[in-house]
Structure 1
Amino acid sequence: MPETKAVPPSWAAPRPGSASRSLTDSLRYAAPALLGYAAVRLTGVAILLITASVTGKDGMHRLTGRWDSVWYQRIAEHGYGYGVRLPDGTFHSDLAFFPLLPALERGLSVLFPPLGVAGAGLLISWLASLAAAGGIFAVGARLYGRRAGILLAVLWGAYPTAFVQSMAYTETLFTALAAWALYAVLTDRWITAGVLCVGAGLTRPVAAALIAAIGVTAIWRLFTAWRGGEPLRTHRRMVVGACLAPLGWLSYIVFVAVREGNPFAYFDVQADWNNRIDGGAALAAFVVEQFGHNVFAGLGLCAAFAFLFWVVWLCVRQRPRQPLPVIVYCVVVVVISLIGSGYFGSRPRLMMPAFPLLLPAAVALAGARRRMVPAVVVGVAALASGVYGAFTLLGSGPP
C-alpha cells in the first residue's frame, strides 16, 4: 500500500513562485513595507529630537541612557552580578534581564569600539526594527496579501508606544525573532522556527507565548495527522523544531537557578521587581483605585480594556481566519501582559510584540475603496505616536 503523503494546512502550503524568489526579489517585494515603516519611525525620532531641542534636553540620551537600557549596558560591560537595594528592602538584580541583547551589545562594541555599548545597543535596536518590520510584513502578506502586509508593518511602527522601537530596548529584537519564527511555521520550516525561538527565549520572558504557539500548533498537527492515518514520521522536522523552541528560555532560567542555588531563583528575582503572576489582581486594583481618584480616568481605562478585548475578538473571528500559531501567539502575549503585577504604564509596551492585533485594521485599510484613506490613517497615527513618544521620553516616567 503506498505511503500517504502528509498535506500541510493551506497556510503552510507553498505559494506560486515563492521557492524561486531570490533575496533581491524578496527585498524588492518587501521594500514598500520597510520604507513605510522607516518613514514612520523617523517621523517619531524627528519629533522627539525637535521637541528635545526646543526644551533644552538631550533627545538621543533619552533613546540610549534611561531605564532598562542602562541595565542592559551594564550587563554588556561587566556581566551579571549587579543589584540595587531599595529603601523598602527589596533588591533589584540584573538577573531579571535576559542575555541576548547585552551579549550583542558587547560583541558589536568590541568590533566597533567608537560605538560603545550604548551606541551598539541603539544600532542593534534600529536594525532589529527593520528585521521585525520585514517579518511582520512577511506574515501579513502570507495571510492576507501584499497590501495588507505593508499596512501591518507600517501600523506597527505607529503603535502608541512605538517610540520604544527606537530605543536600546529588546522589543524590536524579540519581535523580529518572533515574527520570522511565525513565518517559518506558516511556511512549514519548523527547525528554523525552533532556532529563532531559541533566540527569542534568550531575549525576553514573553517568549513563552512563542513557545506556546509553536508547541500547540505542533501538537495539533500531530493529532490531526494521527487521526487521519498519516505516518507520524513524516513530521520529524516539526517535532525537532518544537523541541528546540523552549531551550533558549529554559537555559536562562536554569542559569539563574544554578547561579543562585535555587530552582525558582529567576521567579524570585522577578518578584523582587514586583513582576509576579497574580492573575490580574494588581491590574484590577489599579483600575478600581483610579475610580477613587477620578471617575473619568477609571471609565477611560475600562473603555481601553473593552477596546483591547474587542480587537482580540476580531482577531479570533477574522475571515479568513488567522492561523493557529498566529492567534495563539497573539492571545498569549496579551494574557501575559495583563496577568502580572508590574507597573501599569509598561503594559502597552509589553503588548507591542503582539503585532497580529493590528491585522484586522491592516486588512480593513487594505480593502478601503478610497486609496487616500490608508495614507491619512497611517499619517495621523504616526504623528500621534511621535508626539506621545516625545512627551513620554522627555518626561520623568518610564515607558
Structure 2
Amino acid sequence: MAQRSLTQDAPASPGFATIALRVALIYAAARVVTTVFLLVAGQLSGFDSRFGPDAGLGDLVLGWDARWYWIVAETGYPSELPRTDAGEVAENQWAFMPVYAYLAKVVAIPFGQWVVGAFIVSIVAGYAASVALYYLLRERLDSTAAMWAVAFFAAGPLAALFQVGYAESLFLVWLFLALWCVVRRRYVWLYLLIPLMGYTRPGVLAFALFLGLFGIWRFVTRWREPLAGREVAHIVALGLLAVVVGFSWQLLAGWVTGESGAYLATELAWRRNWIPGDAAFFPLEGFVSASAFWFGSVWGLSAELGYLVLAASVAGVAAILLFVPQVKRLGVEVRLWSASYLIYLLLVFFPQSSIFRLLVPLSPLWGAFAVPRSTAWRVSVLALCTLGQWWWIYNMYALGNAIWQIP
C-alpha cells in the first residue's frame, strides 16, 4: 500500500511533445506581443528615425546590423578592405560571421527575398532556443520554474531579436544545447556545436574560457564525481577546439585580405563612431576607455567616477554569481558560463548601447528570477520584461536617432 501510494504521488515527467507544445504556446503569445510592439514602432517612426516615417515590418527586420548580414549573403566578404577618406579601415562584412547570413539565404530561396529567410530563421531559432533553455534549466529547477524562465526569456527586453535579422537567436540555440551537453556530460556533440557557435557570432572564446574553468572545477571536485581520463581528454580537446575556432576567423580575414589585422581593424572601425581617431586594442582597454567617455565626455561627470563604477560593478556581479542563492540554484555550469562570458566582454568589448544585446547570452540566468514560488513575483517579473521590451523597441526602432539608441 505504501509503495503504491508513493507511486501515485510521484507524477510522471512530461514528455518532449508536451514540453514542446507548452513552450510553443508561451513563445507564440510572446511573438504576438512583440509583433504588435514592432507595428506600433513602425507607425511612430518619423523623419528623424533611421527608418523614416511609417516603417513596415520588413524595414525593421532588415534594420541596423541585419543589413550587414544581408550584404554578406548577397556579396560575400571583401578581398580588399574598404577605406575611409582618411585612409582608415571602414566598416565592412568581416565583422559578421557567415552561418546566419547564408542559412537565411538558403531558407529564403522559395520566397525570393533574404529578409523573409532571415525572419524565419530568427523566429524558428528563438523557439528552438526556448525549448533548449527549458531543458537546460530543468536540470536544476522544477518544471514550473523552468517554464516561467522560458516565459521571461521569450518576452524579455531583447525579445525583438527573435523577429529581426540578427544572429543572436541562432547562436543561443547552439549555446544552450552546448551548456546542456556539458551539464549532462555528453561531450561528443560539442565537436559540432562549438564550430556552429564560432561561425554564427563572436563569443566562442568565452566558451573556451568556460571549458577551462569547468575543467578546473571538475578536477578540484573529483572526489564528489569521479573524473575519468576520457572526460579530461574531451574537456581539453574541446577547449582547444574553441580557441582554434575563435581565432580562425581572424586568420581567415587576414589571409583573404592580405592584412593580418583585418578583423581587428574592422571591429575597431565601429568604435570610431563613438570615439573618433585612431583606436588601439588591448585587453580591458574598451571598458576603461568607455568609462572615461561616458562619465566624462557624455554625462559631464568625472572619469575617475567611471572607473570606480566599473570596479564596483565587477565586484557586484562576482558577488551575485558566487553568493546569491537563486543563482547558485542554477548549477555551477551556468554560473561558470556567466562568469566566463562577462570576463570575455570585459576584456574585448567597448560598452555602448549594444551592451544590452550582447548580454543576451546570459539568458540562463532568467532561471534565478523564476526560483521564487510567489505567483505575484513571477507575474511582476513578466510584466517588467514586457515593459522593457517595449522600451527597447521604441528607442531602437521607433526612434533610433541618438547615440544610445543603436541595438
Pairwise TM-score range, normalised by the shorter structure: 0.7 to 0.9
Q: What residue in structure 1 maps to residue 7 of structure 2?
A: none
Q: What residue in structure 2 maps to residue 331 of structure 1?
A: 339
- Count of residues in correspondence between the two structures: 371
Sequence identity, in percent? 23
Give the alignment partner of residue 315 of structure 1, picking from 313, 321, 335. Answer: 321
Q: CA deviation at 1:210?
A: 1.9
Pair 1:249-2:255 in alignment: no
Structure 1 residue runs without a partner (length 5+): 1-15
Q: CA deviation at 1:267?
A: 2.2
Pair 1:197-2:194 in alignment: yes
Give the residue type in structure 2 aligned to 1:325.
Answer: E
Contact 1:191 1:241 in 2 (8 A): no
Q: CA deviation at 1:129?
A: 0.8
Q: CA deviation at 1:249?
A: 2.8
Contact 2:174 2:197 in 1 (8 A): yes
Pair 1:97-2:96 in alignment: yes
Give the alignment partner of residue 358 of structure 1, picking from 356, 366, 382. Answer: 366
Structure 2 residue runs without a partner (length 5+): 1-10, 46-52, 272-278
Give the alignment partner of residue 143 of structure 1, picking from 122, 136, 140. Answer: 140
- DSSP-derived class of the 2:399 partner: coil
Q: What residue in structure 2 maps to residue 377 of structure 1?
A: 381
Pair 1:31-2:21 in alignment: yes
Contact 1:283 1:341 in 2 (8 A): no
Q: CA deviation at 1:362?
A: 1.8
Give the residue type in structure 1 aligned to 2:31.
Answer: R
After TM superposition, the score normalised by the length of structure 2 is 0.78
Q: CA deviation at 1:385?
A: 1.2
In structure 2, what is the Cα distance between the partners aligned to 1:149 and 1:217? 23
Residues 70-103 of structure 1, C-alpha deviations (whole Å, 9 max, x = no match): 1111111111118654455432221111111112
In structure 2, the CA distance between the partners of 1:231 and 1:187, relative to structure 1 (3 Å rule), is closer
Q: What residue in structure 1 maps to residue 174 of structure 2?
A: 177
Contact 1:345 1:398 in 2 (8 A): yes
In structure 2, what is the Cα distance between the partners aligned to 1:341 and 1:213? 18
In structure 2, what is the Cα distance between the partners aligned to 1:268 and 1:17? 55
After TM superposition, the score normalised by the length of structure 1 is 0.80
Contact 1:158 1:382 in 2 (8 A): yes
Q: CA deviation at 1:248?
A: 3.5
Residues 41-86 of structure 1, C-alpha deviations (whole Å, 9 max, x = no match): 3212212203423655223134322221111111111111186544
Contact 2:329 2:368 in 1 (8 A): no
Residues 102-142 of structure 1, C-alpha deviations (whole Å, 9 max, x = no match): 121222233x2x24211111111111111111122111111
In structure 2, what is the Cα distance between the partners aligned to 1:305 and 1:32? 42
Give the residue type in structure 2 aligned to 1:141.
Answer: R
Superposition pairs for residues 260-339 of structure 1, below 5 Å? 260-274=257-271, 276=281, 277=283, 278=285, 280-289=287-296, 292-293=299-300, 310=316, 313-319=319-325, 320-339=328-347
- DSSP-derived class of the 2:63 partner: coil
In structure 2, the CA distance between the partners of 1:219 and 1:32, relative to structure 1 (3 Å rule), is same
Q: CA deviation at 1:374?
A: 1.8
Pair 1:76-2:82 in alignment: no
| Worse-superposed segment, 169-178 or 79-88 | 79-88
In structure 1, what is the Cα distance between the partners aligned to 2:107 and 2:376? 42
- DSSP-derived class of the 2:166 partner: coil
In structure 2, what is the Cα distance between the partners aligned to 1:318 and 1:228? 24
In structure 2, what is the Cα distance between the partners aligned to 1:322 and 1:31? 24
Q: What residue in structure 1 maps to residue 203 of structure 2?
A: 206
Contact 2:140 2:330 in 1 (8 A): yes
Residues 162-192 of structure 1, C-alpha deviations (whole Å, 9 max, x = no match): 3233211011111111011000111111011
Q: CA deviation at 1:239?
A: 4.9
| Worse-superposed segment, 90-99 or 48-57 | 48-57
Contact 2:148 2:370 in 1 (8 A): yes
Q: What residue in structure 1 maps to residue 356 of structure 2?
A: 348
Q: What residue in structure 1 maps to residue 39 of structure 2?
A: 49
In structure 1, what is the Cα distance between the partners aligned to 2:182 and 2:298? 44
In structure 2, the CA distance between the partners of 1:262 and 1:104, relative to structure 1 (3 Å rule), is same
In structure 2, the CA distance between the partners of 1:105 and 1:230, relative to structure 1 (3 Å rule), is closer
In structure 2, the CA distance between the partners of 1:378 and 1:117, relative to structure 1 (3 Å rule), is same
Contact 2:287 2:350 in 1 (8 A): no
Contact 1:177 1:199 in 2 (8 A): yes
In structure 2, what is the Cα distance between the partners aligned to 1:52 and 1:231? 56
